[in-house]
Structure 1
Amino acid sequence: MSVNSRKGPIVDPGVCRCCGAVKKCRLLNVEYEWSGEREVYADMFVDCFGLVLSHLEGAESERLICATCVVRLRDARAFRRQVLHCEEKLLNAALHIHDYHENAIKLEVEVKQEEDSGHVNESDDDHNDGVDPMDETIGQDEEGSKGAELQLKSEEARVQLSPLEGASVDKAKTEMLDKLNSMKKKLDKMQNCDEPRRIESPPYRRPVTVDKDLHILRNAAKIVENSYVCPFVTVFSDYHCIYCKEMFLDPTLLRQHTMTHDPKTYKDVIDTKKLIQVDIDRIDCRLCDEKIDSIDILKQHITTVHGIKLYKDVNNEFIPFKLKIGSLTCVECGKNLAFFHALKKHMAEHFGTFICDVCGAHYFEERHLIFHKNSHNKTADVQMYPCTECEKTFRSKYSRNFHVSRIHKNEPAYPCNKCDEIFVSYHMRYRHKMNVHGEKRLFPCEGCDRVFDSRKTLRQHNQRTHLQLLRHECSLCDKKFYLPSALRDHMTSHTGERNFRCEFCGKNYPRAKALRVHLQSHSSEKKYKCTLCPSAYTQITNFKNHMKTKHPMPEGGEAYR
């Protein structure tokens, strides 16, 4: 809706065509008043940036600009005016210096000419009763329109001429004429010069700085190019090829796959925002047959034998790992850990540069250290970031913004590295890569013969079935459950509540899972078909009851599944 104010029309709400925000907006090609000045934002774009905007004659919604962008545009205009003002002052200063030198030279020429005429009078009139002709010349000048500055110049000229007394008049006249001619040439040269004389300043020399982060990246690239170390990236505990982002669970397959890529392209795909990780299961030199089992020995070898230059002011170019299936071992202290995520967290104790000054904990990133320091503070002292859409609070801006984009704005934040699809959750991307791109992820249980497609389901299976970690106990009976949702469903057996109603037949059920199973009976598809008779069922429970009653198995036979 457009509203007129005394300073110009306001559109609320509107979409700013400069930043895309939905705010109160103004029109680009309409004149507004601000601080006593008239301003048209489209003209300001032309003046500041030489940018001619399109669609200024179209609909009102196509030519809007928000207040934030107006402020930035005003700042740009003010900065432009400041630069032009300083440039004008610099040019005026240069012209003033040029005029000063020109006038000084003209004045000196006039003084020299007066001095020359004085010598001529002295030669023509030898009987002047002791009166100095130079004094007469000065007296004549004082009677004219000359000032104190001309008198000073004449005094200097008399001092310069004093050594010539007693010399021949011809010699003095010749020298004086030569000086006058030289001055006239300089004056003509300055008058014919189109550009004002510039004040030359010494050239700016950039201070010498050492970019250690850049040295680390260049050293890492040269080490990867000239050795068999295997660079990789990780997502949780999955290994990905750094060149094509292919996922592997077996480190051996990862190393074999990485050998198919050209290591010289590593410097083009390296991510400067993430930690550099390499597998050092094999380090040997690529340039010769030398067998090497240490990064330090490799660096010394390629610099002395092959003449490759490495920066000596940095070390620890990357975090080294020796990847294998099963338990992982730290290459620094030999500690064994079950998952790569736990190993990476442990490696921060050896290579982390962000250290807590309270307890000495090490971290790779500063944001992790800041989050950790909050654990040492009292709850009242910890700054929390509340969500403006709901009642949740977060301990960092990143977590709050991520929550808003995912939950309230439903913005996708998990891109697939093999196609252009973006998903709103990690689980949806996980399933997409398995179903569409054929990634195989199988995690067998060591306690039984079951196989799972994610580490999370394997971990839950172990805790529920083998470890019996049933932390949620019913207060009315002795039953225990692994999940709190299972306990809530169980409590309905004590209260008799049936809050889940079928919209087709009106039956009520105490649990949502029971309702979902019931809804299958209204489906036309009967997935469970009997192989011994034409009967078919939508629910597996009814199918099993049918097999037990209609087709019972003899004793010792295999039970139905």
Structure 2
Amino acid sequence: MSEFWVDVVVENVVGKCKCCLSEMELKTLWDQHEFEGDGEVYGEMLNECFGISFHQPDPSEQICEVCIVRLREALEFKKEILATQEMLQEGVQVVKEDVSNEKQQMEEGPEEVPLTHVSVEFLQKKDEDYDDYIPEVDEIKEITNNKFYKFVRDIQKLLTFTNAIPFRTRATRYYCFYCSTDGPLFEDPDELRSHTTTEHDKERISRVEQHMKPQWLNEVIKFDIKDLQCTECMLTLHDWNNMFVHFAETHDIGFDEAYTRVIPYSLTSDLQCVLCRENFANYGLLDIHMNLHYSNHVCFKCGDTFLSVSRLDKHMTTHKTGNFPCTKCDKSFSLNYYLTRHVNLVHNQKTPKCVYCKKNVEGPMHLHISEEHSEKVKPLTCEVCGKVFTWKPYFVAHMRRNHIGVKKYKCEHCPKKFIKPYELKTHSITHTRLSRLFECGACKATFNSITSIKKHISVHDKEK
């Protein structure tokens, strides 16, 4: 029985995180990895922080990105505690007093008194400024916990009195808040809303606190507020900020943390900021834009604002200038961020991974998805002209080019107009014979672009 159990355990942990058994974004535990210009070995960091020793390090052991971040923070916290203890010890004066006479007086007592009595006095600075009060660690922890529980209560109020849907994102893709990024992804926001309301109706409010932990990883929460309504009076709430006024004045419902930590989105095919009504081509651009509206954290070097600490930390890496040479070629970069991009694009040449089958795909991703996972792709039909698309970026580009975008670039030679300057430039070539620089070797026909002549040569190839 014991042999069978060992076999099962070994089989289950292969290809999973050594710390949490996750299968997402894994890195080897014993190889050296680059981080902010320094090398780090995660197995050695585990040993240093928690005293976990591996007698025979296995090259196949891995750790996920989430645990790597938590390990770095734990190690820094341990170093901070040790440094604090060292400072406290340096600030202690031990005074020894002879109390032998006291012992003689208490010989008849039930307890034995030590020969040496130790009194401890903390040394204080002579010019100490008591106005600059620094709270203790326990006080800071208590304040942080109070803010977190107020934040959870605010989320529960919003989920109780509105039809808003919480959600998560990863690489500009939508995920269920309750299933997290380990669950299914949703290309269509309507399917995400339907999944959340049907599959998680009972835990929608009661398990919010559980899904908001750990605190450092859930500083903010994203809400989809498409067709937002007040469930108390069934009033349609067209403005996010006026919603708080409505609850305060009409229903006497107040909020503490939601003003700055609940980030509103309206997930539709035509993405628009719900606060300033600016339009965006994709969710990634909209998500970056929301930093302008929520200045929870400010970069002290450039003044840019960010809605969470994680975004600020990622931004700060762009300010760490220096000389970062590439170990695989003779190029060097002023930012470590540029070096990492160079290595990934030039030397590693990582191919993108399919979100459905987790395979690395060489070539256009949309062709792989349409051929291998056609049953999971929802066709998008243009309501204006009836064209059907299986790839959302193509659908969005079609709508902007043909039905939404403003054609403000007019050709000087004909009535045609264009959305982009390069489209006008490409079109203008067709009005002059001098630009026909590409000649067919078979029939001497001339063309103004290499694309046109390639298309023409394919006709000759078919005739052979």
Task: Provide the TM-score with structure 1 as the length reference.
Answer: 0.43
- Structure having the higher Rg: 1
Taking structure 2 as the reference length, the TM-score comes to 0.50
